């Protein structure tokens, strides 16, 4: 694997098997330096398995991981030193006090900054005397973020960090992540089921489905090139015929005579061609949220593979 300019995280053919089950299948991630990259997929898609390989907690069955200019397998210490990791739940011992957790990290992480840790402790309003088990989910998530940031990593990787948080705590957490990416030049990769937050926060995306990467690119490019078309064909037209009209149809939904198509690589000419070929006098074009675009693309993958 070569050091591709401009990439903070790069994988080539990354795969992981658990017995006969192929959880991650030939993944070629390309996370630009300085990007906030949303890594999304259904439960069981392979996101957490991928993240565990990216941070060196799980060895791949095949393929490679590169963190900046360092190949993880060849120099894991140097690669891991560049990464801060926020898991889906706090990993500190519940009987410990916050100050004891910070002291432990200071003793084992060479680049740990007590000054930065103290600053974040006050900023996140975390009482250092509190025991881990007494923290709310929101405060526990902020403590995990503090522990990931206090050695000032170049790359921040978050695996479902807001899982189980109430809407206000989730908003506060995402705001802190955004501030952390602005305060210091930093690449962020975040996995989350909250696609509204992902749409708001990210500039790049990767869709994982059944262990495979089915989309990777800029968030704005995906949303500007994916549209829904609502047609009202004058005579019945089946799904197979519609799909032959355009390879860019991701999903087809019906309600009475109305047919709604989700179209990738949208252009006005492609839309007009579909309207004309289906003999539809009704023709509406609608933008999609990231949530709707993701669901329609995944539904389309499941339909074409079934």
User: Do 32 and 50 have their domain in common?
Assistant: yes
d(CA 27, CA 16): 10
pLDDT band at 303 (very low <50, low <70, confident <90, very high): low
pLDDT greater than 80 at residue 187: yes
Q: Is residue 173 domain-shared with residue 283, that is, in the same domain?
A: no
With cut-offs at 50, 70 and 90, classify the pLDDT of residue 305. low
Q: Are residues 172 and 146 in the same domain?
A: yes
Asked if the model's pLDDT at residue 246 lies above 90, the reply is no
Same domain (yes/no): 23, 75: yes
What's residue 261's pLDDT? 92
Whole-number percent of the chain with pLDDT over 90? 64
Residue 99 corresponds to which tokens in the numbers above?
Answer: 């100050």
Considering the domain architecture, whether residues 276 and 191 belong to the same structural domain is answered as no
Task: Please list the alpha-helical segments (H only) found in the chain.
Answer: 47-54, 76-81, 98-108, 114-123, 137-149, 167-183, 195-201, 219-225, 239-245, 268-277, 290-305
**pLDDT, tens digit (0-9, with 9 covering 90-100), for 216-225:** 999 999 999 9
CATH number of the domain enclosing 246: 3.30.70
Cα angle 29, 295, 203 (rounded to 5 degrees) comes to: 45
**Highest mean pLDDT pick, 5-9, 12-16, 162-166, 253-257:** 12-16
Judge if 153 and 279 occupy the same domain. no
Instruction: Assess whether 78 and 178 both reside in one domain.
Output: yes
- Is the pLDDT assigned to residue 44 strictly greater than 70? yes
Give the residue numbers spanning the domain of 196: 7-219
**d(C-alpha 159, C-alpha 13), whole Å:** 21
Nearby residues of 294 by Cβ (< 8 Å), 6 or more positions away: 40, 195, 207
**Do residues 146 and 170 both lie within one domain?**
yes
Q: In this predicted structure, which of 1-15, 147-161, 246-260, 286-300 has the lowest mean pLDDT?
A: 1-15
| 264 contacts 300 by C-beta, under 8 angstroms | no
Selection from 20-34, 171-185, 237-251, 258-272 with the highest mean pLDDT:
20-34
CATH of the domain at 114: 3.40.50.300
What is the distance between the alpha carbons of residues 16 and 87, in angstroms, rounded to a whole number? Answer: 20
Spell out the residues 6+ positions from residue 39 whose beta carbon is closer than 8 angstroms to its own. 47, 50, 51, 189, 190, 191, 205, 206, 208
Residues facing residue 206 across a β-bridge: 39, 216
Q: Which two tokens stand for residue 146?
A: 């503090």
What average pLDDT does this structure show over 47-51?
96
In this structure, are 232 and 100 located in the same domain? no
d(CA 179, CA 250): 36
Residue 3 has pLDDT above 50, yes or no: no
Q: How sure is the predictor about 182, in pLDDT bands with cuts at 50, 70 and 90?
A: confident
Report, as an integer, the average pLDDT of 231-258.
Answer: 88
Domain count, the chain: 2
Examine the domain organization and report whether 39 and 120 are in the same domain. Answer: yes
Confidence of residue 1 (pLDDT cuts 50, 70, 90): very low
Q: Can you give the pLDDT at residue 5?
A: 55
Q: What is the pLDDT of residue 137?
A: 87
**Closest to 33 in 3D by CA, of 2, 69, 9, 12:** 9
* Residue 17 and residue 68 in one domain: yes
pLDDT at residue 2 in the model: 41
pLDDT greater than 60 at residue 250: yes
- Convert the pLDDT of each residue in 24-43 to its tens digit: 999 999 999 999 999 999 99
Q: Check residue 260 and give its pLDDT.
A: 92
């Amino acid at each position: 694997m070569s050091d591709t300019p401009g990439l903070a995280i790069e994988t080539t053919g990354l795969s992981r098997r658990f017995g006969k089950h192929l959880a991650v299948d030939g993944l070629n991630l390309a996370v630009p330096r300085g990007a906030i990259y949303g890594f999304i997929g259904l439960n069981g898609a392979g996101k957490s398995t991928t993240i565990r390989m990216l941070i060196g907690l799980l060895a791949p069955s095949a393929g490679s991981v590169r963190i900046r200019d360092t190949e993880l397998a060849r120099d894991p210490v140097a690669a891991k030193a560049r990464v801060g990791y926020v898991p889906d739940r706090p990993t500190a011992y519940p009987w410990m006090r916050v100050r004891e957790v910070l002291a432990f990290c200071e003793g084992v992480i060479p680049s740990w900054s007590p000054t930065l840790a103290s600053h974040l402790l006050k900023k996140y309003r975390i009482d250092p005397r509190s025991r881990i088990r007494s923290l709310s989910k929101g405060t526990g998530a902020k403590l995990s973020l503090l522990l990931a940031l206090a050695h000032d990593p170049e790359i921040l990787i978050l695996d479902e960090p807001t899982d189980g948080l109430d809407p206000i705590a989730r908003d506060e957490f995402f705001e802190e992540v955004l501030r952390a990416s602005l305060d210091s030049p930093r690449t962020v990769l975040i996995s989350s089921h909250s696609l509204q937050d992902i749409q708001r926060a990210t500039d790049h995306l990767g869709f994982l489905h059944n262990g495979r990467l089915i989309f990777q690119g800029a968030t704005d490019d995906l949303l500007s090139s994916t549209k829904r078309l609502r047609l009202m064909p004058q005579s019945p037209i089946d799904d197979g015929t519609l799909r032959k009209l355009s390879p860019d149809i991701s999903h087809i939904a019906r309600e009475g005579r109305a047919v709604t198509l989700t179209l990738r690589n949208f252009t006005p000419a492609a839309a007009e061609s579909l309207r004309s070929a289906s003999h539809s006098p009704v023709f509406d074009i609608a933008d999609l949220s990231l949530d709707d675009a993701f669901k329609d693309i995944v539904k389309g993958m499941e339909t074409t593979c079934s």
